[in-house]
A and B are shown apart, each in its own frame.
Chain A
């Protein structure tokens, strides 16, 4: 693997980590919101 390839690999890994991290954070918030919505629905 050339130095350019290694640089590109690092860039892609970093970008993928950010996307996966962002997606996980989004789902944490979404599941919290779903729980609140469903509890609210049952209470009503």
Chain B
């Protein structure tokens, strides 16, 4: 089932008494009811939010200076609400596309469990409250960056560039790169080299991470006409791009240590993780798909890329907190 532009679920026609198809009746009944609150929660993409919250907390904890726990909690809440709001707008805009993909067909809008306009209004409301909350609690610089992040994801990426360019994932990576920067700025109130580097790390990490997924999910994206790189440019070009972005990522990941923004604990972790990431990316970047390929190297790269980011940002926090607490004097982290 898909949803047409006028918000009516499009169902398979079957002959039924009174000429009304049974699935249409069920969908109509579902739409005439208020949506379940859990469907609103689903609109915020809770699984994606875990990474957003994690990187936001890392930016907050790694920043020099201190923040009142209530204001720190509010900053993370506002980041999560902003990300959730823009995700809801994304659901609203992509309902037709979601209906065509197995992975997303059961979402609240394509399944007919919620009115399309409700998702849009919920997303806009949540985003505005998030920006206002951030401004009042943590200052208007952090709130402005949050506003840019919301517009970047919901408008520039979702509405404009995702359906138009095979580089959509590169651009989309920018949206996911904002949370640690916002967390950092919420504490310090200024933009310096470190929050820009944290932004750059996620920005350059996203293409190899997502294209590895796109390589083994290619058929789904091809079906709905999203110009994913493997669909438009082919597998060979995608593999080359994965390798190139991994190479570009390496100096950026190590840069916080080189410029003295972190200690050796982060630096060594970054070097080791980068070496492993490169090995996985090399395997994917230099191989050719064979018949009945299980795409195991691509799946391994995708899984490791998630672990990579969690360990890297975890190491950043431990390194910085240890330094601020004075443990560096023991010679353990320098």
Contacts and interface: CB of A to CB of B under 8 A. Distances in A.
A8 B33 contact: yes
Interface residues of B, number: 14
A28 interface: no
A20 to B, nearest CB: 8
A16 B71 contact: no
B258 interface: no
B29 A5 contact: yes
Given A12-B36, A15-B36, A16-B34, A37 B71 contact: yes
Contacts of A9: 33-34
A6 to B, nearest CB: 9
A1 interface: yes
A34 B33 contact: no
B264 interface: no
Majority SS at the chain B contact face: helix
Contact of B29 (A1, A15, A30): A1
Interface residues of A, number: 18
A12 B33 contact: yes
A41 B33 CA distance: 47
Contact of B37 (A1, A2, A16, A37): A16
A37 B68 contact: yes
Contacts of B68: 37, 40-41
B321 interface: no
Contact of A34 (B34, B36, B74): B74
26 contacts: A1-B29, A1-B32, A5-B29, A5-B32, A5-B33, A8-B33, A9-B33, A12-B33, A12-B35, A12-B36, A12-B37, A13-B34, A15-B36, A16-B34, A16-B37, A30-B74, A30-B77, A34-B70, A34-B71, A34-B136, A34-B137, A37-B70, A38-B71, A38-B137, A40-B68, A41-B68
